Amino acid sequence: MLSVTSNLTHVQQGGSKIILKYAGKDATQEYDPIHPPDAIENNLPPEKHLGPVEPNTVEKVEVRITDEEMARQERMSNRPPLDEILNLHDFESIARQVMPEKAWAYYSSAADDEITHRENHSAYHRIWFRPQILVDVTKVDWSTRILGHKSSMPVYITATALGKLGHPDGELNLTRAAARHNVIQMIPTLASCSFDEIVDAAQPGQVQFLQLYVNKDRNITKRLVQHAEQRGIKGLFITVDAPQLGRREKDMRMKFTAEDPSEVVKSGSDGIDRSQGAARAISDALKAYDLGLAGVVLSNHGGRQLDFARSGVEVLVEVVTNLKQKRGLSFPNDKFQLFVDGGVRRATDVIKAIALGATAVGIGRPFIYAFSSYGEQGVDKALKILQDEFEMNMRLIGAKSIQDITPDMVDATNISSHIASTPTDRLYDSNYESMQHAKLREIKSKM
Amino acid sequence: MLSVTSNLTHVQQGGSKIILKYAGKDATQEYDPIHPPDAIENNLPPEKHLGPVEPNTVEKVEVRITDEEMARQERMSNRPPLDEILNLHDFESIARQVMPEKAWAYYSSAADDEITHRENHSAYHRIWFRPQILVDVTKVDWSTRILGHKSSMPVYITATALGKLGHPDGELNLTRAAARHNVIQMIPTLASCSFDEIVDAAQPGQVQFLQLYVNKDRNITKRLVQHAEQRGIKGLFITVDAPQLGRREKDMRMKFTAEDPSEVVKSGSDGIDRSQGAARAISDALKAYDLGLAGVVLSNHGGRQLDFARSGVEVLVEVVTNLKQKRGLSFPNDKFQLFVDGGVRRATDVIKAIALGATAVGIGRPFIYAFSSYGEQGVDKALKILQDEFEMNMRLIGAKSIQDITPDMVDATNISSHIASTPTDRLYDSNYESMQHAKLREIKSKM
Amino acid sequence: MLSVTSNLTHVQQGGSKIILKYAGKDATQEYDPIHPPDAIENNLPPEKHLGPVEPNTVEKVEVRITDEEMARQERMSNRPPLDEILNLHDFESIARQVMPEKAWAYYSSAADDEITHRENHSAYHRIWFRPQILVDVTKVDWSTRILGHKSSMPVYITATALGKLGHPDGELNLTRAAARHNVIQMIPTLASCSFDEIVDAAQPGQVQFLQLYVNKDRNITKRLVQHAEQRGIKGLFITVDAPQLGRREKDMRMKFTAEDPSEVVKSGSDGIDRSQGAARAISDALKAYDLGLAGVVLSNHGGRQLDFARSGVEVLVEVVTNLKQKRGLSFPNDKFQLFVDGGVRRATDVIKAIALGATAVGIGRPFIYAFSSYGEQGVDKALKILQDEFEMNMRLIGAKSIQDITPDMVDATNISSHIASTPTDRLYDSNYESMQHAKLREIKSKM
Amino acid sequence: MLSVTSNLTHVQQGGSKIILKYAGKDATQEYDPIHPPDAIENNLPPEKHLGPVEPNTVEKVEVRITDEEMARQERMSNRPPLDEILNLHDFESIARQVMPEKAWAYYSSAADDEITHRENHSAYHRIWFRPQILVDVTKVDWSTRILGHKSSMPVYITATALGKLGHPDGELNLTRAAARHNVIQMIPTLASCSFDEIVDAAQPGQVQFLQLYVNKDRNITKRLVQHAEQRGIKGLFITVDAPQLGRREKDMRMKFTAEDPSEVVKSGSDGIDRSQGAARAISDALKAYDLGLAGVVLSNHGGRQLDFARSGVEVLVEVVTNLKQKRGLSFPNDKFQLFVDGGVRRATDVIKAIALGATAVGIGRPFIYAFSSYGEQGVDKALKILQDEFEMNMRLIGAKSIQDITPDMVDATNISSHIASTPTDRLYDSNYESMQHAKLREIKSKM
């Protein structure tokens, strides 16, 4: 059983407004994607459980299919076949067109001016390769071990929230595709599916990790950890640095535009006590090592928390230098493993992180976009693309195995220069939906 | 009573042309927004006071409501509700659409090619965070003391001119909202409202500062200071570095386009003797300290004076280093306080300045845009947004109080590199109205 | 006879799908541009040779001229006269409009996000001149010797594949124009014309080099080399660093759009055993020198292999420093010559590479675009433009001969900073066709 | 009498084609703007002088006024009044619209990719101010002495060719406005007006310099210098680094588009022997000093010669350092004066150059654009704008006189970083007409 820091994202849970809106009506359709099946049992005290509802006593909420929704469904039916998806960028481009606007806004948004969110990707563009060309690359092997567990590539599926917003099967899409590719899934605390559903969906022997917030009530945490252990979870990733929910304006903006301002809940009102948690938990790469933890994730939560936080891969360079000077460690290191996440779109991004000392890299949004546009097959294809890219690029940089990827194979001199690098990433840039100002009402109505 | 340098902006006061234009007519409507009620008493020698005008002897200036004005008023009525304003950028975006063109041109313009004006904001984008994650941030407190006076945040409302151009209540909007948020207002010399009106509008105990030009006639200055002291002003900010009015071409250009070239008055003709003042006043951060002043404002006057002057926050880094090496000071410092202004749009900008040694940060234009589009409620909302952003970001950087914001929490290595940083600030950039060339007459008439 | 590393590009050769598509039909038109005439003899074992086909027994494949093809042919007839072609950029601009879409996609595409492809050119834009102005430049001479052979300029035509995609005469266009300008052509392994055709097209005394992959079967390689020697080939460029075919998505994307997904063959399926080859061959500038080779080409294969590989000219600076420090060499050096290719568009680019130590520079795509739009005359004009540019710029930098182009004549300080340089290259940038995402089917059909 | 290096630009003079075109016809209209009145006497041997033509024996060349010309004349009549011209950028914007296309192309074009041309301006944007604020700037004086002669500002009108292309009075517009402002004009060798016409137009006591190419025939040069001396020329600027005419493709391109490809003359065919000249002349800042010259101009000829030559102001920094280290000189220096030209648009640009050691700055194109759009009054206004900008900015940087402008008042740390600086110069950028590719004929005809 292992403890490491991880990234985590959140959604606001209902306030009184949303309850009043659906009072006396069947709210299942609205409730489902944002609450796991066991949410009521786990979060509501037993005395508040009133029992099942008599279906014919509730007013049916008539589902109006708007013109926008019709148009969206038509776009969905016009998705290109999966064969035409050539890279992870493509999933995002399709998802943006075929996802419900609300789901897209929730997944794609980030904190403040979304500087950190974009920096996560652009940081990788400041790292260049120095390939080796003296190597017999007939056979290349990019499989590795993450916290001692086999993984077909130095990548894991990181924890992201509310999978059902993008697809009815939610996180199960990830579980199933992960099984087929021998890739490890990190189960999020705030999944749409329940923890047990996700574990049940796993194949025998499939490795899963769990992401966890520390709860003020230590007993709750204890129960969760014991249950996870019983169900065979192999790694625990404790989030210690999300004391408050980031303010994601693009998400807020879309809600005003789309429908119901009452949904724009004040940040922080999600029932999880983050402020307490952070103080009691451990953190910081150095402390983590001294406390005997198995590793640490260098993450800024996909740019959804503190804007102008630096990218994981930039911090990685600093942490590796630090741990080398102060603890004499070298990386990758089996005893104390470093992970980064955020902004990864190509196997070359992963290889760069490995060269700089990471054991593996977490990928989140690209998999969400994959299942939001193509379900489980989308995730399968995304992993297949990564496998193809790994094979090709392991050969091209001259590395026969993950161990051969060494620091001298990359030039990261400019990693701390947050300046416009060249050439530009056309696919990433055209996917990025620019932030928008508040709009006059008349203008909005015409758009 | 305190003396510190401050930023200041100016407007041209009437020349002979404007007087001839309204000769024998009622010019109140044109006169009001750009002259405080006591302007005649304070500036015109008593022998020039001819007494009140008999209203029915003057020719009424018929107010034509142009199509453009009709369109503007319609846009005004279509402002989004304040709930949809998510950040300070939003106010500027709305203000640009609902303000009279002339007022917008006056407020938004800056010197020459407006390089310094934009640099003020972009400088903050070259500073990145190194958050602390070991801190109990259950309770965070971002209140502070500015020159010994309590402020609910390390921000003050800096002096800007001609508030009535944007809203009939002018600077009073600021006074009233400042009271509600316990924020300090700096009263500008060139306000549309009179000094006494602004002081009268204050709540009991509300702290106000005064911005002051040094006048060639020392007696006038002396009277002003004594009067301010009597009225309870707690700080005096003396402007020593605005020897000549900056040339703001965007403002000049709009006047040609909009109406009357005769309004484009030669720079420098505003009756205030700046050239004399500057020589007699004290300045320079080092001198200011040696002279026993309470602090200094590092300002380039919102980019309205010398183009290619560096941003306040860049100069801050230099000044802090300087005062450390030569006087052994450390910052923030209660005995000698540093302030910066210009380009601030987010609480994270303020936090960066605090980390680098500032005691507080002056904000000007965003508040003008707030009341120009929503009156007093706009300023209230702007301050509320800042409070929200402070709460969230204090937590996210791991600072329980202002004292916890230390230099090691930011990376300002690139502050002096005036290069295209990445990622770009989409909200700021789309708000910026690009400068325009002179236009052919036919082209102009068609636009 | 000489051995040096060189760049090489590839095309996928037929799989079963394409064979089934044309089964029983005359596939000549499809087959010709992508197979040299001797492909069957050289690659198919004799027992698979079934003899000639009786023409009237095969079903004619009716050639439909699509509207797109009609439009393309009209564009072809509207090419500007060669007089109006002022620089190498112009050929690319015309070629893009008059080439078959498929051919354009094949030539213009590069690996992954095409970062390295564009960096190849932009690297030259980070090198600036320090001209000499004390020189009598009445007569300037930019002829040189490449591996001991005279060349009218420090440029050779590098190996690129499948010339018939762009023009029916394929690589012979290059051979003929090279003869007229005393420029050396490097014959590619994967030419559309056969090796012997290309050698036959040469003038008496015309110098040609050969690019070669090392084959697992040493006998095949030996036969090839012996044949090349007999036919008078003066230099052998062995490709040692292309163990796998790069993934060129723009090329893949266009195939989906244009016609037949079955053509998008899995990378690596081209029959050449690259993985073996690399391990057995020699490489690396230092090793190459120690092994007594005559030189080395610093190439990233036109950006078609490893994305984020650095440009040849950046690596050149590193290699020159390295060989100086470790072997005491200075460059240009007759005994061990350095070549670079990729991104060259101007004689000034070449002069920069010479100043930094290269003996000559390989140019590929610009010549392809030249003959694809104007046949042999296009290449002739391209070489003429280079000659004109050399004459002018030799004078302007103050160099009477190639030997006078010294390191102190350039400032390459920023060569390793992969940042947006200024001013921008408008011609290059507007030629670059941005990468595209996968598209919805309906959208595609409308475009 | 003084000798310094200067910038110079050229036009191609007639070949046989143009002579044949007008054979037997009256070619005055075509001939006039590109030849000074004394061109025939000075350049044609006496035996070729056939005497005056009998007017009624020549075929009149009917002047067709094209639709384009009609449109241009209408634009000319719609110029905004001079009052609306606020800066030097404005002249360029108007000139571009009201000048004959050919004249615009000739003046605005530069070498190759016009990198150096644009760098000339952008270099100034990498220099920032550190103003002094302790100075009594009641009176500021920006007059200076250039080579011992009084000038009302540290600016001179540099030599540019073919003034009549832009305005019938050609260079005389400059002479007359220069007189009114006490600014020195440098008379170009390749003026449209003759040397004597320009000298005749000067006021008594008006200082003029002369720009000179060294001629192979020393007697011609001697005669020119003696004549100049007799006519009262106070400074001689010898061009030593223009051994060949730069290739200005934008100019060439426009000629194809506009009219007559026969005008696109091969570069170098202008009758002046530059290749000889350069070798015999002196140059180089160090040599110039050692030879006892009075100064040197650091120029890249407006970006019209060697592309990727660095800007004058960047070279200035290097030269000043060099002359300090090797000859112990400090700058500005009366005994050996440094001048720069290229890219100047604002008084702040000039002040930056002065701070870095220049005595004065040459301005060329902006004055051409001024008289091309508004004749003499345009130049007068341009100089007035500069005077206004000097007054304001001398005050704002805190300099009472030119002597007070010291190196510590600027930060030029990034001068050698040729990277995208921020914020961008909107006026300059929108004036810049991007280079264009060769175009298909049909496309061209439609545009």
Going from the first residue of chain D to its last (447 residues), give the mean pLDDT of each consecutive group of 10, the final group possibly shorter. 34 49 70 73 70 71 81 93 94 94 92 94 95 85 97 97 93 98 95 95 96 81 92 90 72 65 40 37 68 90 93 95 92 94 96 98 97 97 97 94 96 89 82 82 55
Q: Is B240 on the interface with D (CB under 8 A)?
A: yes
Three-state helix/strand/coil letters over chain A: CCEEECCCCCCCCCCHHHHHHCCCECCHHHHHHHCCCCHHHHHCCHHHCCCCCCHHHCECCCCCCCHHHHHHHHHHHCCCCHHHCCCHHHHHHHHHHHCCHHHHHHHHCCCCCCHHHHHHHHHHCCCEECCCCCCCCCCCECCEEECCEEECCCEEECCCCCHHHCCCCCCHHHHHHHHHHCCEEEECCCCCCCHHHHHHCCCCCCCEEEEEECCCCHHHHHHHHHHHHHCCCCEEEEECCCCCCCCCHHHHHHHHHHCCHHHCCCCCCCCCCHHHHHHHCCCCHHHHHHCCCCEEEECCHHHCCCCCECCHHHHHHHHHHHHHHHHCCCCCCCCCEEEEECCCCCHHHHHHHHHCCCCEEEECHHHHHHHHHHHHHHHHHHHHHHHHHHHHHHHHHCCCEHHHCCHHHEECCCCCCCECECCCCHHHHHHCCCCCCCCCHHHHHHC
D399 to chain B, closest Cα gap in Å = 11
Mean pLDDT of C61-68: 79
Is D107 catalytic? The answer is no
Whether residue A427 and residue C421 make contact (CB cut-off 8 A), yes or no, is no
- Residue B436: C-alpha distances to residues B250, B251, B252, D353 (Å): 8, 11, 11, 26
| Residues of chain A scoring pLDDT < 50 | 1-14, 258-283, 445-447
pLDDT at residue D77, rounded to an integer: 93
Mean pLDDT of B126-154: 93
Chain C / chain D CB contacts < 8 angstroms: 148
User: B387 and chain A: CB distance < 8 Å anywhere?
Assistant: no
| From C308, C419, C437, residue closest to A128, measured CB to CB | C308
User: Quick one: average pLDDT of B359-382?
Assistant: 97
The rounded distance, in Å, linking the Cα atoms of D248 and D232 is 35
CB contact under 8 A, A119 and B422: yes
Taking contacts as CB-CB distances below 8 angstroms, the residues of chain D near B252 are: 86
The pLDDT of residue C443 is 53
Question: Region B89-109: what's the mean pLDDT?
Answer: 93
User: pTM of this prediction?
Assistant: 0.88
Chain C CB within 8 Å of residue A221 CB: no
pLDDT recorded at residue C44:
67
Max mean pLDDT among C16-20, C320-324, D261-265 falls in C320-324
Residue C301 is among the residues annotated as catalytic for this protein: yes
Q: Which residues of C touch A411 (CB under 8 A)?
A: 310, 416
- Contact yes or no for D378/D76 (Cβ under 8 A): no
- Of the candidates A244, A249, A252, the beta carbon closest to that of B396 is on A244
CA distance A125 to chain C (A): 8
Residues 408-437 of chain D with CB under 8 A from chain C are 416-421, 434-435, 437
pLDDT given for residue D149 in this prediction: 97
Is A213 one of the catalytic residues? yes
Q: Which of B294-298, B387-391, D16-20, D399-403 has the lowest mean pLDDT?
A: D16-20
Q: How confident is the prediction for chain C on average, in pLDDT?
A: 84
Residue C283 and residue A133 in contact, taking contact as beta carbons nearer than 8 Å: yes
- CA distances to A248, A249, A441, B357, C228 from B131, in Å: 19, 21, 39, 17, 65
**Cβ distance of B122 and D422 shorter than 8 Å:** yes
Question: pLDDT value at position B118?
Answer: 94
The string of pLDDT tens digits covering residues C262-307 is 444 343 344 444 443 333 333 487 778 887 889 999 999 999 999 9
Of B6, B93, B30, which Cα lies nearest the Cα of B360?
A: B6
Nearest-by-Cβ selection for C240 from A133, A397, A413: A133
Residue C153 in this model has a pLDDT that exceeds 90: yes
Write out chain D residues lying below 8 Å of B118, CB-based. Answer: 422-423
CB spacing of D137 vs B275 below 8 angstroms: yes
C276 CB neighbours in chain A (<8 A) are 136, 138
- Residue burial D368-403, b: 16+ Cβ < 10 Å; e: rest: bbbbbbbbbbbbbbbbbbbbbbbbbbbbbbbbbebe
Q: Residue B271: its pLDDT value, please? A: 40
* Alpha carbon of residue B367 to chain centroid: 8
Contact A310 B130 (CB under 8 A): yes
Please spell the DSSP secondary structure of B385-423, one letter per residue.
Answer: HHHHHHHHHHHHHT-SBGGG--GGGEE-TTTT--B-BSS
